Amino acid sequence: MNSIFRAAGLAAALLLAGCGTLSRPPEGVVRVAPEAVIPTADPRIVASDAGPVRLLERQIMGEPGQGPTAILALSGGGANGAYGAGVLTGWTLSGRRPEFRIVTGVSTGALAAPFAFLGPSWDPQLAAAYSDGGAKDILAWRQLATFASPSLYSSSALRKLVDRAVTPQMLTAIAAEHGKGRRLLVATTNLDSEETVIWDMGLIARQGGPQGLKLFKDVLTASASIPGVFPPVLIAGRAKDGRIIQEMHVDGGVNTPFLAVPESLVLWSRPAGAVGAGSIFVLVNGQLGRRDAVTAGKLTAILKRSYDSGSKASTRAHLAANAAFAQRNGLAFRVAAVPDDAQANSLDFSEAAMRRLFDLGREQGRSGKAWGDWKPAEAEKAAATGLIVIDAPPARR
């Protein structure tokens, strides 16, 4: 009976949220308020521009003395991000975790990306963020938004998580790594332009101060803000004509489930004779296989089933495209995902559920079972069966 009331309450909240609005100036043009964050150097890269090609081509090719590039891409997946956090900490315990030159994050992956970028010494903070129960209030009923809100839930609990995780000390450490040539990238979706925006978080960290700290937090919050569930984040920027505009940013997963190879780079090929192959690791905070089940005729069940089906299909398609890029350019391509037989729910932020997934990920990361190959030649078969194609990667020393 309690579930019936919950479903009815959720449906009512959805209808009420549909009446909410978010006040914006005409054409997005704003007068700069004292608290507006306008970065001194624009950290935005639009995924369809040539910028990512030049940036990542240089990173992938490697510069003299750098050696092969290792890229880590953390996907979205809500509460399933606990699995990815566990994999990373278990990978540290195995003694085989590489230092990644590029770390990227989308949605829940964006929240974990700064810890992953800073490496094993930040594992305790990463583990705490996903396994100490701090996320249990994100979708609590007391977080339901007001009638005037454009979302079902308030983002206050999400912002508290970000505020607790992101400190001036973290930004100082990220800025130092950025100075060494490493890159931390986070993706959001700009609803105004319908484009993926890649944020150079190291550049924001180098700006520092209260404004840099606020922008860093705003980007992470935006990347995890599922449209309709959480309100969008308005971020000030400068248009080509010099005007200050207000961009509406939401979950990066709207356009891309993970960020390994940006849109403008997918068809790129390494110049003939070039050397410096590396590896791409994609950590999928979710399951990839299809699962037959009778969908209950309730709003909540229909919405959840639709979201799961769409996100899995999108992730498999992106994996196939990225794997083809890696094969064409001589990069190893490794994938980790929540096992299909595991109990996982992207909307279950309870401490027990997230701890269970974290422990599973940590054990698989420690034992080496988490990572496998995704072969482009078998991508069609994988898409048809919903099964990830896994070969055990060779041990790294």
Closest CA to 56 of 322, 250, 247: 322
Catalytic residue among 75, 107, 151, 225: 107
Q: How many residues does the chain have?
A: 397
Active-site residue flag, 391: no
Strands (E), the chain: 44-46, 70-74, 102-106, 183-190, 195-200, 233-238, 244-251, 279-284, 332-337, 372-373
Query: 176 and 390 in contact (C-beta within 8 Å)?
Result: no
Name the β-bridge partners of 355: none
CB contact set of 223 (below 8 Å; sequence gap of 6+): 105, 106, 107, 110, 111, 186, 187, 188, 249, 251, 252
Closest CA to 155 of 79, 228, 81, 256: 228
Catalytic residue among 123, 200, 218, 251: 251
CA-atom Rg of the chain in angstroms = 20
Active-site residue flag, 3: no
Phi, then psi, of 45 in degrees rounded to 5: -130, 120
Catalytic sites, residue numbers: 107, 251
